[in-house]
Amino acid sequence: MKTNKLLLFLLVFLPICMCAMPQGKVEDIKLQKSLSSTPAKGKRSVDLLEASAHFNFYNETLLINLYGDFKNVEISVTNLLTNEVVYSELHTISSNIVLNMGGLLEENSEYRLEIIIGETILYGDFDF
């Protein structure tokens, strides 16, 4: 009898507790492609480059997934209102990059993420 009451208690209250846990809102950042103004001499085609970026509001992190083998990836985040660069760094590991933006972003501001690989620039905007 006590076991049945315990199971009933768990079945009723466990889903309620799970719903009360904070859920992070994740925004997909739509990346657009641009090329630098001066392409390398003798280069005829653009390398195929696929990437995705997501911003998690709950823990203020950017997740960048690059599909390919790239040696150097330059990433920057700029506040579009003030034009201030809040993050800029060169990454040598380029498959899955997680950036902790905690304390760097101002609420109610719009930001631009730029990913530079060789002559290709991927950029996308997101709000915080």
Listing DSSP states for 54-94 in one string gives EEETTTTEEEEEEES--S-EEEEEEETTT--EEEEEEES--
Note the pTM of the prediction, 2 decimals.
0.72
Max CA separation in the chain (angstroms): 81
Domain 24-40+48-127 has CATH 2.60.120.200: no
Over 80: is that where the pLDDT of 30 sits? yes
98 close to 53: Cβ distance less than 8 angstroms:
no
84 close to 57: Cβ distance less than 8 angstroms:
no
Structure confidence at residue 56 (pLDDT): 94
Would you give the end-to-end CA distance of the chain in angstroms? 51
Q: Residue holding tokens 């001066």? A: 38
Give the burial class of 101: count Cβ atoms within 10 A of its Cβ; 0-12 exposed, 13-18 middle, 19 or more buried: middle
Over 50: is that where the pLDDT of 21 sits? no
- Residue bearing the bigger pLDDT, 114 or 19: 114
Structure confidence at residue 40 (pLDDT): 56
Q: What average pLDDT does the segment 13-26 reach?
A: 55
Helix (H, G, I), strand (E, B) or coil at 115: strand
